[in-house]
Structure 1
């Protein structure tokens, strides 16, 4: 990690740049694949699966038999761990349910709001260098709680044309209605336009690489909603001399191993801690199976020394991290004042990986600074709010004149007439 000492505020933007390609670099490829899938459906999807995943498949839909076989390959210990995580995620997301809101805004004017599920959702589960069965929990559990009728899952196949058994086990456990062995841009294109095999959906969920992120953004141009722009993973840790350097290093590496384009940042008021963490990273890095990937991510990452907590907070809010770990003598200051973060982890014994798996919070979070405007996935992500209103005779008399005046002032005579004709009948 590169160490930067007391950077000037005018330098922050440059220092905090993500190691990602621009949309322009990727969009041409995404557009070409979208156009092909839109015109040719499954044959185009199969072509890109062969090209990018190195496997030619005649049938991409996972059968019940494949699911049964996969369940047998998952150890009982892992099944129990997944079930524990599911229980905690279910508990936290069920608590997010809200009751119908009903208000009489004026005499005779009743307004209310109800939430209804998004009926057709598409889940994207990365399966390349790391088969993220945990993401199945994070997406399928709230979709099921919300009452989504169709929960479709796409995940890239391996070289043998299979999806990781733990993904299939978890999908089956969480009520996924259809599982398809397709990944990458072609999966997002399938969700966007629909093919003979991949249903068109109303909203696409799930993280992915930079190509998947741009594909999801392009899907919105074709009338399909997305959860958020969620690309390469990132973590920012703010820590001081009260933090445990080995813990901090382990957290930084836990995100660095996601991918070569991941980024981790340490912000500290202590040069001594920065040096200790740097030393710990080198020790722990060499023991990781994904050392090559983590090393590339660490090369994209930074340790930043700042003067005080106030400066640290300003810098963190400017960055808007996906994951934010607070491990200082002044935790409450950061907790109370953080404005831009996807999910916050507090204290020496709250590793970011707890949120990735089993604490109950959701790990599908906005990256690349989008936490300034986007929330992470939650129960509301799978619902939409519908407003209702019912006006009585007394009610239209109460607010009718105001409507007439406002409509006339905007030059919309038919709007005014829709009220006037009713008021006339009530005289």
Structure 2
């Protein structure tokens, strides 16, 4: 594996990573819109047809029965059950800390009180893309955030596996975390169902979850239906920034950690040490020669055409420039203390920042309790990960007494006059006649 030099090879590096920035295009949005129209016209029947067409599975119903849910929970081994409950408790603890208070007000000036009221969404639809295997952690994080926020109806959707079933472990985790309903079917079709309601799938107020371009496009179309959502959550990506004190072998395993998700995953490292960069490349090559499980995926990610890269930077500032431009979903800082503080301060664009030798990606993915449902494809420049804060909405509050309103009257008159809205002014003046 070659080492890229920054800033000398900046343009070459940008070219290598450029396709990561495109999560979906307009033609895909149009295709997704057509699917939404089919669901609007035919409801459950359309989603069942879409599932057969795109997921190659025939379903009799979209709803997961209580009997199947109980069976899934009952089959969970004790060790996994303990792990699920441990992760669930940590996720709930973190989300309680992040959740805004129900009501806050302050007397900001004489006769004037302002504030904000926080209200949970009444219902949410949570997409967990568990078609290829269990996604226990994603289910726990999304459902846990909604539960802590106070959402009353929490509907989890997932694609069927090859047997035409919802993944048992993901079903169990969703139920144990607090899901009230679970449905199965084609991803875009289910999100369309969340957006407008069908015979089986309830219309909800918010729709959240990760997935490839089609799912991301479906979230953008759902927004046009007035649904709260978070955009830009697609194929996973990660970045590590380090100095000469980092262990190259551990760094290589951290890069593999996120690279193994899929051939479209992106995993980069930016370091100020050429010795570290060379060591990481050597350990990556040695690992891949062993023919590991998911080795073909890793071979793709860390090939010349893939979205993996080891980058030697002339300075820590250059390394931070690389990371801020890349805007990773997941990020690790491995530096000596003074550099660690400088990097933590200087990084503006990252969905998650893990600091130090003992905060690996896996801990964030599974057990710390912080969200791992994060913006990808550079969306971390403007978007944050999904937490309890996304499962609520706020209303601003303003309270005035007579004298406070009277002090505002000259300002109201002047702005109302210039905007050509006389009744705006009259509605205030009438109060003082």
TM interval, short-chain normalised: over 0.9
Tell me, what secondary structure is at the counterpart of 2:161? coil
**Structure 1 match to 2:394:** 385
Please, which moves more after superposition, 216-225 or 261-270? 216-225
Q: Which residue of structure 2 aligns with residue 319 of structure 1?
A: 326
Q: Contact 1:324/1:345 (CA < 8 Å) preserved in 2? A: yes
Query: 1 CA distance for matches of 2:367 and 2:118?
Result: 27
Counterpart Cα distance in 2 of 1:307 and 1:167: 45
Question: Following the alignment from structure 1 to structure 2, what is the Cα–Cα distance between the partners of residues 326 and 402?
Answer: 51
Give the RMSD, CA atoms, in angstroms: 1.8
The aligned counterpart of 1:172 is 175
Partners in 2 of 1:252 and 1:139 — Cα distance?
25
Give 1:327-346 correspondences, 5 Å limit: 327-329=334-336, 330-346=339-355
Does 2:298 match 1:294?
Answer: yes
2:81 match: 79
Are the aligned partners of 1:18 and 1:263 in contact in 2 as well (CA < 8 Å)? no
- CA displacement at 1:185 relative to structure 2: 1.6
Count of residues in Structure 1 that have an aligned counterpart in Structure 2: 424
| Normalised TM-score (structure 1) | 0.94
Matches of 2:23 and 2:90 in 1, distance apart?
36
C-alpha distance in 1 between matches for 2:203 and 2:238? 33
SS at match of 1:17: helix
8 A Cα contact 1:400 1:423, kept in partner:
no
Q: Is the 8 A contact 1:50 1:56 kept in 2?
A: yes
1:16/1:198 CA distance change after superposition, 3 Å: same
Greater Cα offset, 30-39 or 370-379: 30-39
Q: TM-score, normalised by structure 2?
A: 0.93
Q: 1:222 aligns with which of 222, 225, 229?
A: 225
User: Which residues of structure 2 form unaligned runs of 5+?
Assistant: none
* Alignment correspondent of 2:359: 350
Structure 1 residue 377, shift from structure 2 partner:
1.3
How far apart in 2 are the matches of 1:238 and 1:98? 32
Residue 375 of structure 1 and its aligned partner are, at CA, apart by 1.2
Matched, 1:125 2:128: yes
**Counterparts in 2 of 1:84-163, with a 5 A limit?**
84-99=86-101, 100-163=103-166
> Which residue of the other structure, out of 14, 32, 35, is the alignment partner of 2:34?
32
CA distance in 2 between partners of 1:82 and 1:25 (Å)? 40
Q: Which moved more, 1:339-348 or 1:102-111?
A: 102-111
Residue 213 of structure 1: CA displacement? 1.1
Please report how far the alpha carbon of residue 378 of structure 1 lies from its aligned counterpart in structure 2 after TM superposition. Answer: 2.0
Distance 1:279 1:145, change over 3 A: same
Alignment pair present for 1:308 and 2:315: yes
CA distance in 2, matches of 1:415, 1:27: 41
Q: Distance in 1 between matches of 2:193 and 2:173?
A: 23
Cα displacement string for residues 310-332 of structure 1 (whole angstroms, at most 9, x for unaligned residues)? 11111111111111111123211
Whole-Å separation in 2 of the counterparts to 1:229 and 1:39: 28
For the structure 1 residues 34 and 368, does the alpha-carbon distance in structure 2 shift closer, same or farther, using more than 3 Å as the test? same
Q: Deviations over 1:108-136 (max 9, x none)?
A: 22222110001111100011223211111
Aligned to 2:220, the other structure's residue is in SS state helix
